């Protein structure tokens, strides 16, 4: 019956191939889209990393001559934009894509084609921004784009910035809507909210932050665009424009953005640590509510980025207090992780090392963050390398360590083979040492008064030694990722089969084959407990020790019994061309704003035709 | 057909964890996001409405009776939208098309009114580049107008889908309701803009 797929005719016929490049271009499978997100983000990570190395090479010695001032401005701006919008966010979204349906027992996300649209818009948005290098110069006003500098910089760089981030925002917004609905509405029977893995919870908070933060930056970016291209006055002080408006709108987005980047990593760590401590997460409800609290409080702290802007003592005090308060739920999480490790039967694996590295580095970054909440202190630190040290400790020491922990942890699930533990641990130690060499000295440099964003510094300031160490650390980090790439290539050749559940995991994704079949679950699981898969594998002895239950035992529901012949009746959403077609409209409109107004119409037409095709193509249900 | 296959083929709306329809929930989430979008635009306007340089002031240039009429037209389009949904819910597809077209027409009248208003303002010396007031006013109302225009396209698409019988299945009313949600939201935003921007006097 359902296996016999009727041939579909007409211009809106949907592609059907399951292999080859076309099947990737037209895919709507959340697992393939997740892989594409992560691969693309990793490619951008290499580019952003090379930019960082150029910056560090320039600053290795006083009066460096590796980069000109103009090139330096472009590289530090693009490094920030790349790492935030094209690396950390999409890597988090990639893991969400792959894992959320598996973790909640769903066969796909709520809107598979919208999901593909998000990916293509993200990719094209990233390429759009990078194309500025070949079209007259990249953005050079910092990732924060402070007006009126950003409205007055010559060239098209900051116009590319305003439009490129706008395009990426569309991808984020579509993704946010998709995942909110997926998590709220697509859970397997019995998967109540308080049984969801912590990663899913943190993803839910993240997507709500995206939903409400993206429109704010969208307005700010539109205003910047109108100022630059159409002679509006939003940020023109001579016409009464208020530069503080930009700062408020930007940081009203920008601070939730910080949590958008860190919460997925916190979720990853909250799932990795219990697996390798062989204990449930300590204080599940506390860690979940702490995440929700961060989500709410993250909206009330933005002006701590503006303590030096002269908002006045009342505003400064209020935001200082709210900033101190938000450290509380964050601290709760840290105690949750430590409590999870306490008394656990710990196995020191690569993902475990990265997860513990996350906790340790995030504590340092969190503490320097709390020091910024003290206004007089912050006014000393603003625009120095102390700030650079702080946000690299939370975004590299935090987010990137967490994401890499996730890569090592779920790699066997995604590709079916294990990564080398020896090379993985080498990767960890190189990255850990290199990271601290690169960024710990920046605390000292900042306290010594070295300003951010300057392309060079004179001799005799006492900054030479630590800058050299920092540059050395940067190259050690680069080496650690060479080890990672070697690890991937060698492990891929060796193909050490992982099996379904190599880490003795706790959550639903480990109950299905590696790599998972297209339909994920041959039979939609019925969830009976938090850490459901663990409880299907183990029961507790009277002494409180876990004892293995064999298939068909007390709680075993024989999940694999009929794997071979299962799955034939499951119809998955068909691939589609239209998400890709529609996504091309946006960058074309962007080029139109910068170069040739006619292109705006062309892009809008492509977008509209893509959406019409999207709506009119036969849906999976109608085909039967 | 086994029970498992039957479950796999059941329409999506019967499978959701909350019992709420996925698409409708997604539209609500999107509209929540839009609240922040228009909130930011309106905040900008409130910050800038008194900064006019040599250009016209808001109360010198607004034609309240004129805008009241076009606001009334847009509000009435919400009534016709409700009637369109009621029509398809009782299976009256001809009524659906009539009321959808009426809604689209009222929306078009509103947009026409906005185009006329913009033209009149430019002739009276208020442009995007005149002052921050001009920038804030045109960008805010312009984005609202763009939303109405997108809504008109969606209404006309519904009319087309109805003519080709694509709304005759059980899913039809849901599609109309979805566009209706968007349309009502855009109307509500205009109520806020009309009150805050036109009716509250400036100094």
CB A501 within 8 A of CB A551: no
CA distance B1 to chain A (A): 8
What does the longest C-alpha to C-alpha distance in chain A come to? Answer: 81
Instruction: Kindly report which listed range (A208-217, A399-408, A560-569, A575-584) carries the lowest average pLDDT score.
Output: A560-569
Question: Could you say which residues from 136 to 165 on chain B have a Cβ atom under 8 Å away from some Cβ of chain A?
Answer: 136, 138-139, 143, 153, 157, 161
- pLDDT at B17 (0 to 100): 87
The pLDDT > 90 percentage for chain A reads 85
d(CA A171, CA A312): 37
User: pLDDT tier at A595 (50, 70, 90 boundaries)?
Assistant: very high
Among A187, A231, A239, beta carbon nearest to B53? A239
d(CA A110, CA B32): 18
Q: B2 to chain A: which residues are within 8 Å by CB?
A: 569
| Interface membership of B116 toward A (CB under 8 Å) | no
- pLDDT at A616 (0 to 100): 85
Q: How many CB atoms lie within 10 A of CB A369?
A: 21
d(CA A103, CA A532): 10
State the count of interchain CB pairs (< 8 A) between A and B. 131
Answer whether A240 sits within 8 Å of B153, measured CB to CB.
no
Answer whether A181 sits within 8 Å of B25, measured CB to CB.
yes
Whether the predicted pLDDT of A496 surpasses 60: yes
Answer whether A570 sits within 8 Å of B33, measured CB to CB.
no
B201 or B7, which is more confident: B201
Taking phi over 0 as left and psi of -120 to 50 as alpha, with beta for the rest, A263 belongs to: alpha
| Interface membership of A180 toward B (CB under 8 Å) | yes
| Interface membership of B2 toward A (CB under 8 Å) | yes
Question: Could you say which residues from 236 to 255 on chain A have a Cβ atom under 8 Å away from some Cβ of chain B?
Answer: 236, 239-242, 245, 249
Residues 6+ apart with CB under 8 A from A126: A40, A44, A85, A86, A164, A168
- 3-state SS, residue B52: coil
- 3-state SS, residue A548: strand
Question: Could you say which residues from 325 to 344 on chain A have a Cβ atom under 8 Å away from some Cβ of chain B?
Answer: none
Tell me the pLDDT tens digit for each residue of A331-389: 999 999 999 999 999 999 999 999 999 999 999 999 999 999 999 999 999 999 999 99
Q: What is the pTM of this model?
A: 0.93
Nearest to A61 by CA among A360, A434, A471: A471
Nearest to B52 by CA among A411, A185, A334, A239: A239
Answer whether B22 sits within 8 Å of A110, measured CB to CB.
yes
- pLDDT at A2 (0 to 100): 39
Whether the predicted pLDDT of A601 surpasses 60: yes
Sketch out chain B's domains with CATH numbers: 64-203 (1.20.120.80)
Tell me the pLDDT tens digit for each residue of B96-154: 999 999 999 999 999 999 999 999 999 999 999 999 999 999 999 999 999 999 999 99
d(CA A249, CA A241): 14
Beta bridge partners of A497: A417
CB A272 within 8 A of CB A405: yes
* Average pLDDT of the segment spanning A19-28: 86
User: pLDDT tier at A21 (50, 70, 90 boundaries)?
Assistant: confident
**Across chain A, what does the average pLDDT equal?**
91
CA distance A110 to chain B (A): 7
- pLDDT at A550 (0 to 100): 66
| Interface membership of B54 toward A (CB under 8 Å) | no
Tell me the pLDDT tens digit for each residue of A497-526: 999 999 999 999 999 999 999 999 998 999
Residues 6+ apart with CB under 8 A from A261: A84, A88, A89, A92, A395, A399
CA distance B107 to chain A (A): 20
CB A234 within 8 A of CB A224: yes
Place of tokens 């999207």: A614
Interface probe for A, chosen from B3, B14, B19, B26 (most Cβ of A below 10 Å), is: B26
Answer whether B26 sits within 8 Å of A232, measured CB to CB.
no
- pLDDT at A623 (0 to 100): 40
User: pLDDT tier at B165 (50, 70, 90 boundaries)?
Assistant: confident
| Interface membership of A196 toward B (CB under 8 Å) | no
Interface probe for A, chosen from B1, B2, B3, B9 (most Cβ of A below 10 Å), is: B9
- pLDDT at A139 (0 to 100): 96
Q: How much is the ipTM here?
A: 0.92
Question: Could you say which residues from 499 to 528 on chain A have a Cβ atom under 8 Å away from some Cβ of chain B?
Answer: 523-524
The pLDDT > 70 percentage for chain A reads 93
Q: A162 to chain B: which residues are within 8 Å by CB?
A: none
Whether the predicted pLDDT of A398 surpasses 90: yes
Answer whether A212 sits within 8 Å of B36, measured CB to CB.
yes
| Interface membership of B1 toward A (CB under 8 Å) | yes
Q: A234 to chain B: which residues are within 8 Å by CB?
A: 44, 48, 132, 135-136, 139
Tell me the pLDDT tens digit for each residue of A534-562: 988 988 877 777 888 765 444 444 444 44
The chain A residue lying nearest B153, using CA atoms, is A608
Answer whether A240 sits within 8 Å of B131, measured CB to CB.
yes
Nearest to A502 by CA among A387, A377, A408: A408
- pLDDT at A559 (0 to 100): 45
CB A612 within 8 A of CB B164: no
- pLDDT at A152 (0 to 100): 92
The DSSP call for residue A194 is G
Answer whether A233 sits within 8 Å of B132, measured CB to CB.
yes
d(CA A29, CA B135): 44
Q: Give whole-number Cα distances, A225 to A157, A164, A593, B146, B184, in Å.
A: 11, 11, 9, 17, 29
Tell me the pLDDT tens digit for each residue of A429-486: 999 999 999 999 999 999 999 999 999 999 999 999 999 999 999 999 999 999 999 9
Q: B33 to chain A: which residues are within 8 Å by CB?
A: 173, 176-177, 211-212, 214-215
d(CA A447, CA A455): 19
CA distance B21 to chain A (A): 8
Whether the predicted pLDDT of B7 surpasses 60: no
Taking each helix axis as running N to C, give the angle between helix A69-81 and helix A30-59, from 0 to 180 degrees, rounded to the nearest 10: 150
Tell me the pLDDT tens digit for each residue of B51-76: 988 889 988 899 999 999 999 999 99
User: pLDDT tier at B200 (50, 70, 90 boundaries)?
Assistant: confident
Whether the predicted pLDDT of A4 surpasses 60: no
d(CA B196, CA B203): 14
Q: B29 to chain A: which residues are within 8 Å by CB?
A: 176-177, 180-181, 211
Taking each helix axis as running N to C, give the angle between helix A421-447 and helix A350-372, from 0 to 180 degrees, rounded to the nearest 10: 10
- pLDDT at A13 (0 to 100): 63
Beta bridge partners of A547: A539
User: pLDDT tier at A11 (50, 70, 90 boundaries)?
Assistant: low
Whether the predicted pLDDT of A305 surpasses 90: yes
| Interface membership of A177 toward B (CB under 8 Å) | yes
Answer whether B36 sits within 8 Å of A178, measured CB to CB.
no
Q: Give whole-number Cα distances, A261 to A53, A254, A277, A357, B152, in Å.
A: 22, 11, 25, 17, 37
- 3-state SS, residue A538: strand
A220 or B3, which is more confident: A220
Question: Could you say which residues from 111 to 150 on chain A have a Cβ atom under 8 Å away from some Cβ of chain B?
Answer: 111
Burial A569-606, CB ≥16 within 10 A → b, else e: bbbbbbbbbbbbbbbbbbbbbbbbbbeeeebbeebeeb
Whether the predicted pLDDT of B5 surpasses 50: no
């Amino acid at each position: 019956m359902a296996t016999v797929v009727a041939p579909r005719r007409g211009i809106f016929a949907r592609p059907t191939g399951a292999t080859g490049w076309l099947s990737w271009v037209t895919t709507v499978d959340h697992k393939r889209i997740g892989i594409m997100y992560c691969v693309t983000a990793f490619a951008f990570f290499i580019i952003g990393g090379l930019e960082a190395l150029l910056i560090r090479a320039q600053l290795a010695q006083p009066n460096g001559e590796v980069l000109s001032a103009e090139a330096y401005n472009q590289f530090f701006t693009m490094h920030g934009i790349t790492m935030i919008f094209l690396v950390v966010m999409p890597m988090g979204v990639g893991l969400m894509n792959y894992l959320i349906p598996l973790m909640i027992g769903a066969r796909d996300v709520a809107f598979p084609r919208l999901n593909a649209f998000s990916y293509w818009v993200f990719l094209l948005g990233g390429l759009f921004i990078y194309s500025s290098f070949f079209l007259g110069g990249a953005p050079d006003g910092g990732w924060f784009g402070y007006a009126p500098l950003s409205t007055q910089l010559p060239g098209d760089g900051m116009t590319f910035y305003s439009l490129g981030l706008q395009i990426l925002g569309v991808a984020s917004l579509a993704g946010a809507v998709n995942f909110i609905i997926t998590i709220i509405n697509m859970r397997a029977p019995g998967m109540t909210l308080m049984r969801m893995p912590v990663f899913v919870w943190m993803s839910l908070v993240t997507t709500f932050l995206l939903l409400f933060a993206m429109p704010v930056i969208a307005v700010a970016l539109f205003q910047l665009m109108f100022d630059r291209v159409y002679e509006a006055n939003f940020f023109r002080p001579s016409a009464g424009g208020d530069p503080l408006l930009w700062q408020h709108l930007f940081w009203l987005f920008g601070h939730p953005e910080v949590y958008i980047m860190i919460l997925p990593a916190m979720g990853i760590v909250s799932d990795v640590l219990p697996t390798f401590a062989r204990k449930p997460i300590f204080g599940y409800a506390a860690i979940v509510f702490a995440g929700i609290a961060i989500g709410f409080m993250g909206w009330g702290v933005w002006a701590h980025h503006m303590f030096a802007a002269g908002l006045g003592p009342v505003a400064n005090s209020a935001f200082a207090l709210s900033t101190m308060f938000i450290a509380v739920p964050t601290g709760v999480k840290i105690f949750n992780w430590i409590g999870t490790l306490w008394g656990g039967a710990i196995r020191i694996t690569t993902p475990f090392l990265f997860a513990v590295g996350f906790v340790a580095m995030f504590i340092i970054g969190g503490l320097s963050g709390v020091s910024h909440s003290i206004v007089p202190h912050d006014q000393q630190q603003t625009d120095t390398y102390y700030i650079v040290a702080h946000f690299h400790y939370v975004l590299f020491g935090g987010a990137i360590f967490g994401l890499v922990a996730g890569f090592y942890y779920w790699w066997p699930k995604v590709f079916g083979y294990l990564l080398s533990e020896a090379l993985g641990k080498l990767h960890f130690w190189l990255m850990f040492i290199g990271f601290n060499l690169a960024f710990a000295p920046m605390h000292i440099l900042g306290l010594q008064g070295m300003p951010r964003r300057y392309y060079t510094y004179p001799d005799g300031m006492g900054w030479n030694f630590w800058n050299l160490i920092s540059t050395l650390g940067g190259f050690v980090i680069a080496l650690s990722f060479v080890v990672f790439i070697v690890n991937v290539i060698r492990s891929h050749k060796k193909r050490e089969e992982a099996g379904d559940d190599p880490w003795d995991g706790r959550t639903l994704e480990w109950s299905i084959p590696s790599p998972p079949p297209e339909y994920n679950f041959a039979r939609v699981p019925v969830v009976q407990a938090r850490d459901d898969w663990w409880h299907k594998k183990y029961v507790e002895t009277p002494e409180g020790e876990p004892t293995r239950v064999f298939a068909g035992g007390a709680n075993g529901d024989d999940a694999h019994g009929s794997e071979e012949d299962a799955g034939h009746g499951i119809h998955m959403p068909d691939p589609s061309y239209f998400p890709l077609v529609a996504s091309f409209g946006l960058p074309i409109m962007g080029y139109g704003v910068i170069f040739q107004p006619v292109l705006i119409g062309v892009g809008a037409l492509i977008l509209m035709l893509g959406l019409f095709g999207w709506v009119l193509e036969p849906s999976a249900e109608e085909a039967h | 057909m086994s029970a498992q296959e039957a479950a796999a083929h059941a329409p999506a709306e019967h499978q959701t964890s909350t019992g709420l329809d996925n698409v409708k929930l997604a539209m609500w989430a999107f509209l929540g996001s839009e609240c922040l979008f228009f909130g930011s635009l309106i905040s900008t306007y409130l910050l800038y409405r008194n900064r006019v340089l040599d250009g016209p002031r808001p109360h010198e240039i607004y034609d309240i009776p004129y805008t009241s009429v076009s606001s009334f037209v847009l509000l009435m389009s919400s009534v016709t939208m409700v009637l369109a949904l009621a029509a398809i819910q009782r299976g009256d597809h001809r009524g659906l098309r009539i009321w959808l077209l009426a809604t689209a027409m009222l929306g078009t009248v509103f947009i026409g009114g906005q185009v006329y208003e913009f033209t009149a303002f430019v002739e009276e010396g208020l442009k995007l580049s005149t002052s921050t007031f001009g920038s804030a006013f045109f960008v805010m109302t312009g984005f609202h107008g763009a939303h109405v225009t997108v809504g008109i396209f969606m209404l006309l698409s519904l009319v087309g889908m109805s003519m080709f019988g694509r709304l005759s299945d059980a899913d039809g009313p849901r599609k109309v309701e979805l566009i209706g949600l968007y349309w009502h939201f855009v109307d509500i935003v205009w109520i806020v803009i009309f009150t805050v921007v036109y009716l509250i006097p400036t100094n």
